[in-house]
Homo-oligomer: A and B are copies of this chain.
Amino acid sequence: MIGGIEAGGTKFVCCVADENMNITDRVTIETREPEYTMGKVFEFFKDKEIKSLGLAIFGPIDVDKSSETYGTILKTPKLAWANYNIYEALTKELKVPVEVETDVNGAALSEYYEGHGKGRKSVLYITIGTGIGAGFVSGGEVINGLTHPEMGHVLIQSREEDFDGVCPFHKNCLEGMAAGPSILGRYGVKGTELPADHEVWDYIGDYVGQALMTYTLILAPDIILIGGGVARQEQLFKKFKENFSKYMNGYLSHKRYIDEVDDYIKYPKNGQDAGLVGSLYLAKKALDR
């Protein structure tokens, strides 16, 4: 058996699976302070006899394996978790190999192996909700540098004169202009309360389209999958693709970026369990190390 954890801001989902990746048991634990939540996590895995564990967790987290603080959660609004070394805690308690990645890298892995990325060379997974994050998997490997990617914060060209963006670090980066809180920042209401033909969808569609061009120029992925609450609005999703094509303007001649845009930019296949399935692939990687 192997174990997986998808750790989010509101809940931790833990599971065990057999070698064919069939999930045989799972539990959901509320995200409170580490002592409470991790206590429940340890309890769940205690008698499960797992051989390895994968963890897909909210960032930022130190993913540099040569770093002394590998697996430590970095500065985060979830204050009780800042500076908590969750890798060390799991390794010490469960005494099995542990592999740690961000939740979006986990979701990218699950799409690469079991979703729309199956058979493709690389997968860029993006989530657009309360924040904007992305994970990139190429040839089955998660691509991190010294840190995991923070692609949601790339700068974009604003089309608005009376809105400066809400990112506390960069104001008008993509996240500051296109994530959920930007809608609240503009109009004082949530996106779900605005009609499908509201101007905000034109803006967000434009900005995300710009970012998709930037990601494509730098990573040249084989497929881009976009999840998250904001992206779920279908009238908006269409604009992502239109603006991507408009901005690229035929510059890269590969057919994936021109003729096949409807297949290049898609919704993810794996739904709710994307991160959890990804964590099991991380557990497999931990075994192979």
Interface of chain A: mostly helix, strand, loop or mixed: loop
Q: How far is the CA of A155 from the CA of B248 in the complex (A)?
A: 10
User: Per-position contact with B for A202-246: 1 when CB-CB < 8 Å, else 0?
Assistant: 000000001001110111111000000000000000000000000
Q: How many copies does the complex hold?
A: 2
Q: A121-B145, A145-B122 are in contact. Are A170 and B220 (CB under 8 A)?
A: no
Q: A190 to nearest B CB, angstroms?
A: 26
Q: A254 to nearest B CB, angstroms?
A: 5
| Candidates B145, B153, B155, B158; contact of A220 at CB < 8 Å | B145
Do B155 and A221 touch across chains, with their CB atoms under 8 A apart?
Answer: no
Residue A151 at the chain B interface, CB threshold 8 Å: yes
User: Per-position contact with B for A245-288: 1 when CB-CB < 8 Å, else 0?
Assistant: 00101111110110000000000000000000000000000000
Chain B residues contacting A256 (CB-CB under 8 Å) are 146
- Count A-side interface residues using an 8 Å CB cutoff: 44
Do B145 and A213 touch across chains, with their CB atoms under 8 A apart?
Answer: no
Q: How far is the CA of A144 from the CA of B138 in the complex (A)?
A: 10
Residue A23 at the chain B interface, CB threshold 8 Å: no
Chain B residues contacting A121 (CB-CB under 8 Å) are 145-146
Residue A169 at the chain B interface, CB threshold 8 Å: yes
A-to-B contact residues, CB < 8 Å: 60, 64, 74-75, 121-122, 138, 143-151, 153-158, 169-170, 172, 210, 213-215, 217-222, 247, 249-254, 256-257
Question: What are 23 pairs between A and B in contact, CB < 8 Å?
Answer: A60-B252, A64-B254, A122-B146, A143-B143, A144-B220, A145-B220, A145-B221, A146-B221, A146-B222, A146-B256, A147-B220, A150-B217, A151-B217, A153-B251, A154-B218, A155-B213, A155-B214, A155-B247, A157-B158, A169-B250, A169-B251, A214-B214, A215-B218
Task: List 13 other contacts, CB 8 Å, given A143-B143, A149-B217.
Answer: A60-B252, A64-B254, A74-B253, A146-B222, A150-B252, A151-B218, A153-B217, A154-B214, A154-B217, A155-B156, A155-B213, A170-B251, A214-B214
